[in-house]
Amino acid sequence: MDYNSHMRILIIISGAYGARHVKNIRAHCPSSWSVETWQAPASLPPIIDSPEDYLPPALPPCDLILSFAENKSVAELLPEIAKRTGARGVVVAVDNETWLPRGLARQLRQWLESINVACATPKPLCSLTERDYKVTRRLRETYQSDVISEFARHFGQPDIRLTVDEETRTITAAVVQRDAVCGCARYVAEKLIGLSADEVEEKAGLFHHHFPCLASMVKLDDYNHDTLMHESGHLLQENLAEQVKPFKRTRYVTPLGKVE
C-alpha cells in the first residue's frame, strides 16, 4: 500500500491535550489521510483483565493508531484495538510519565511486537523522527515502520527551515518542514519573521512556552532532573541554533581595568 497517497489514522483521546493534537493534525495533514477519533472511557481500572469490556462494538479500520490518552490504563487496551482495526503501527505520546511509565512502555512495545505491530513511545512526543525517538535525555530508541515513519515526516520533532538576510541578519522566512504534533512549531515559525539572528533561540524558547507547551513540568531523573516541557523547548531551539550560528554576532567581554 502507498501510504503517501492514503493513510488511515485512529486517534485515541481522553481530554483537551489530545483534542488539540487532533485539531492540528486534521488542519495540516495531507488531504489523502483519513483521521478518526475514539474517546477513551473516563474511568478505567488499574489492571484490565478483559479489554473488550471497555471497547465499543466496532472501531474503524486503520493503518496507524495514535494514543494521546491521559490514563496509563489505556495502554492495556491498545493490543486489542490494534487487532480489531488491523493497525500496523502505534504511537503513544509520553508528554507526562504518569500516562505511560517506563516499565509499562517497555511492556507495551513487547505486547505489540508479539502481534507484529510496531510501536513508538516518544518522550516527549515532539522527539519523534522518521527513524527514532527519545526515551531518556541521552537515549533514542529506533523503530522500523513505514506507517509511523510516514506520520513522522509531517509531525514530530520540529524542523523549521530559516532564511536569513545576510546584510541585516534578520529572519526573512521560516518554513515548517515538520510540525510538532500539537502545532507549536508552526506557531513559533510565524513569530520568528523579522527577528535578529542574535535573538532567535531565546525568543523561540519563550514562544514555545507561551503556545503553551502541555508537556509535564515534573522533574525526571532520566532527564537530568529537568522537565519534559523544557526538553521539548530544547529540541526546538537546537533545530534553529545551527541555522542562525553563522549570522550571530560574537560578543567579547573585556574585564574591568584590562586594556587590549
Domain spans in the chain, listed from the N-terminal domain onward = 8-154, 159-247
Residue 66 · residue 85 · CB < 8 Å: no
115: pLDDT strictly greater than 70: yes
Closest CA to 151 of 130, 174, 134: 130
Mean per-residue pLDDT for 190-207? Answer: 97
Strands in 118-120's sheet, in edge-to-edge order, are 34-39, 8-13, 64-68, 89-92, 118-120
pLDDT category of residue 3 using cuts at 50, 70 and 90: very low
Q: pLDDT by residue (tens digit) across 178-198? A: 999 999 999 999 999 999 999
247 has a pLDDT exceeding 70: yes
Query: 8-154 falls under which CATH superfamily?
Result: NAD(P)-binding Rossmann-like Domain (3.40.50.720)
Question: What's the mean pLDDT in 97-118?
Answer: 96
- Stated as kind and residue range, the H or E segment containing 161 is strand 159-164
pLDDT of residue 17: 96
pLDDT score recorded for residue 77: 96
pLDDT at position 47 is 86
pLDDT value for 252: 47
Q: How large is the C-alpha radius of gyration of the chain?
A: 20
Q: What percentage of the chain has pLDDT greater than the value 70?
A: 94
pLDDT surpassing 50 at residue 177: yes
Q: What is the pLDDT of residues 17-64, one digit of tens each?
A: 999 999 999 999 999 999 999 999 988 888 888 888 889 999 999 999
Q: Using CA atoms, how far apart are residues 69 and 79, in angstroms rounded to an integer?
A: 15
What pLDDT band is residue 71 in, cutting at 50, 70 and 90?
Answer: very high
Q: Give the model's pLDDT for residue 43.
A: 85
- Average pLDDT score over the chain: 94
For residues 124 and 134, the answer to whether their CB atoms sit within 8 Å is yes
CB-based contacts of 244-249 (< 8 A; 24+ apart in sequence): 244/162, 244/164, 244/171, 244/197, 244/198, 244/200, 244/201, 247/164, 247/166, 247/169, 247/197, 248/169, 248/197, 248/198, 249/169, 249/198
b/e per residue 193-225 (b: at least 16 CB within 10 A): eebbbeebbebbbebbeebebbbbeeebeebee
pLDDT of residue 5: 62
Query: What is the spatial distance between Cα 5 and Cα 215, in angstroms, rounded to a whole number?
Result: 32
Q: Is 208 left (phi over 0), alpha (psi -120 to 50) or beta?
A: alpha
Indicate whether 260 pLDDT > 90: no
Which residues touch 103 (CB under 8 Å, ≥6 apart)?
Answer: none
Please tell me the predicted confidence (pLDDT) of residue 122.
Answer: 98
Confidence of residue 258 (pLDDT cuts 50, 70, 90): low
Kindly indicate the confidence band of residue 239, based on its pLDDT and cuts at 50, 70 and 90: very high
CA distances from 254 to 70, 248, 260 (A): 52, 19, 8
Averaged pLDDT, 199-223? 96
Answer whether 20's CB lies under 8 Å from 183's CB. yes
Q: Are strands 34-39 and 118-120 parallel, antiparallel or unpaired?
A: unpaired
Residue 1 — very low, low, confident or very high, per pLDDT cuts 50/70/90?
A: very low
Q: Which of 38-52, 78-92, 97-111, 239-253 shows the lowest per-residue confidence on average (mean pLDDT)?
A: 239-253
Three-class DSSP category at 191: helix
The answer to whether residue 8 scores a pLDDT higher than 90 is: yes
For residue 259, what pLDDT is reported? 54
Instruction: Read off the DSSP letter of residue 153.
Output: H
* Residues across the chain: 260
